Amino acid sequence: MSRNDVPSSAPAALRNREPILEVLRPLLPSTGLVLEIASGTGEHVVHFARGLPQLAWQPSDPSPEARQSIAAWTAAEGLTSVRAPLLIDAAHEDWPLEHANAVICINMTHISPWSATVGLMKGAGHIIPSGAPVYLYGPYRRPGQELEPSNAAFDLNLRARNPEWGLRDLGDPEICANQYGLRLDQLIEMPANNLSLVFRKE
């Protein structure tokens, strides 16, 4: 087996994939194509594809190493409902996909420049139909609340690595989404001080 055939693994993905799947079950359409932005190792998309086999899944990531890992996980699981990963940088407008029935994005907004979140909302707003969901997962700063110690330490670590990174104020993705025809529909508490944000296309 070549190095490119060996999938990568992220401990956080193993911990949060099942709680996220339980949120996605009633949220996603019964059929159609789900685009995942910033798929990372690919562990989320293969887990979701196993749990929701009636859907088609389109992973994507700007990293060649991530796309290799996604392809390796898909091959190892023998999943025909997961398409080959696309090169999509959320911050850029040239997405090689014209339509999706839902968009999901896990743990990206804090480990990327703000331009990536803006691009995510803009791109998703263009390719999903009215009423379709855009799902975000991760930690956020909440108005009037201090960050939990674990998230405060995480935020400091992120900003030390890259000053454009860091936990976002909860209202910022909502304001950005509104500019592209997306409205916040649900806010769901998740384990380990994370949140699920569900937007819908007007």
Q: What is the pLDDT of residues 126-143, one digit of tens each?
A: 999 999 999 999 999 998
pLDDT digits 0-9 by tens, 18-52? 999 999 999 999 999 999 999 999 999 999 999 99
Element (H, E) at 90: none
Torsion angle, alpha carbons of 133, 43, 14, 52, to 10: 50
Cα dist from 42 to 21, 34, 105, 113, 129, whole Å: 14, 14, 12, 21, 25
Could you tell me which residue, 150 or 60, shows the higher pLDDT?
A: 60
Contact call for residues 111 and 157 (beta carbons, < 8 A)? no
Q: What is the pTM of this model?
A: 0.93
Contact call for residues 61 and 67 (beta carbons, < 8 A)? yes
The burial class, CB within 10 Å (0-12 / 13-18 / 19+), for 173 is buried
Domains of the chain: 3-201 (3.40.50.150)
Residue 9, pLDDT score:
72
